[in-house]
Structure 1
Amino acid sequence: MRTLYVVTHPQATHHVEGVVGGWHDSRLTPTGVRAAASIAEALRGVIPDGAEVDLFSSDLQRTRQTAQEVAELFGVKLFLDRRLREKSYGAAGGRPQEWLDRRFVPPPAVGERMDLDEGVEGAETKAQWAQRIYAAMDEILRRAREHQIIVTHGGSLTFVVASWIKMPIESASYASFRAPPGSITTLREDDFFHNRQVVSLGDTRHLDSA
C-alpha cells in the first residue's frame, strides 16, 4: 500500500497583498505559519510512528517553510524540487493581480488549450507546466515508500493528481482539481489491484484550530 499526502501551502504574503503568485517568492504569513504547524500535526496523526517517510517540496519559500515544519516533526530529510513549483506567470509574477487580469487571455472552450502563453510575456504554457510536474511525479513514484508527502501549490495540485491517476497530459487540458490553501489531499494505491484512488481532495479540517 502506498499513500501520498499532497499539501497545498497555506496563506502566503501574495494572498493578502493581492499580487500574482506563480514563481514570485512569497513567504508564509503568521497565519500561514500556524497553519503549517497544524498540517504537520495532522500528518503525524495519520502516519504511523516509525514508518519510513519521503518528503518532497517545491523550492519556493512558502512551500519550503511549510515542508520544514513537517521535516522537523518527522525527523526526515526534505527534498526540494523546483519542478513542483506553481505555474510561472512570467512578467506578471509579483505584480498586482489586476495587472494580470487586464492582460490575461483564457484558453478557448474548444481547440488548442495546452500551448497558449495566455497573453503574458514569459509565462509558462499549460503543457510546460504539466510536463515538469509529471516528470517530478515519475521520479517520486519510482521510490519504494509506503508514505510520501508532497508540498506544492494550489494550481500545481491538478497535475499532481492527474499524473497520479495516469491521465495523459494531452487529456489534462480540461482537468481542474481545486483545493484551498493549507489543504491535504490523500492519494492511495492498493497492493492487489494497484488501483490509484483519490481518497480525499483538499481536506482542511486540521485548520480549524490554526
Structure 2
Amino acid sequence: MEEKKFIVKFKEALSFPIAFVVLIWGIHIINFLLGYRLFWLGIYPRKTEGLWGVITGPLIHGDFLHLFSNSLSFLILSFMLFFFFRKVAIQAFALIYLLTGFAVWIFARESFHIGASGVVYGLVSFVFWSGIFRRNIKSIVLALVVTVLYSSYFLGIVPGEDGISWESHLLGGLVGILVAFIYRKDLEAEDEEKLKALDNEQWDLNDQSHYFPPDIFEKKDDDNRSSSGHGGFY
C-alpha cells in the first residue's frame, strides 16, 4: 500500500516538470526553425511591450546548450518542489516565476532577457532556504543536496560573461528566499502528523504525575481496618 502511494506521488511530482520541459523544447525547435527570431518574447526592462516577457521570457532560449542546461536543472529542482513541498508547490512555483520576471523587468539592464535560468535560481534558493527556515530533517537534507549539486551556481549571480543575464540569476535567488520565508510554516501533511505525534507523546510523559493508581492508599486503609477486626497479622 505504501509502495503504491509512493509511486503515485512520484508520478504526480514528475508530471509538471516533464510537461514544462516538453513545452520549452517544442518552443525552442520552432525558434530554431525560424532562425532564432523569437528573442523579442523575452523580458525587456521598463518597456511596456517588454512586460509580456514576464510570462514568455523563461520559455525562450538562445541555443540548445542553454536549453539543455536549464532543462536538466529544472527537472531536478521542480521535482524536488512538487515531491517534497506538495502543499505549496503550485503557489511557490507561480510566485517564483512571476516575481522573478517582474524583478528583472524593473531592475535589469535594458536588453532582452530570455531563458528559465532565473526560475532555476529561484528554485535552488527556495529549496536551500526552506531548510534554513523550516529546520526539520527533510528540509535540511534537501538543502545540503542542493548545496552539493549547485554550489557553482553562486558564481552566476555576479556580473561576468557577456550575454549572461546575471540579474535574472541574482533576482531569482532573492525571490526564492522570499518565497521560502513566506511558506516556512506550511508543513506537509506527513510532517504535521509527526509533530502531532511528538506533541501527544510529550503530553503523555508530562501527565504521568501518578506512579500508582490514585486510590491505592484508600484500598490499603480499608485492608488495614479489615485485618484489625480479626486481631491477627497476615
TM-score (norm 1): 0.27
Report which of the two has the higher share of strand.
1
Higher relative contact order (CA closer than 8 Å, sequence separation 6+): 1
TM-score (norm 2): 0.25
Structure of greater Rg: 2
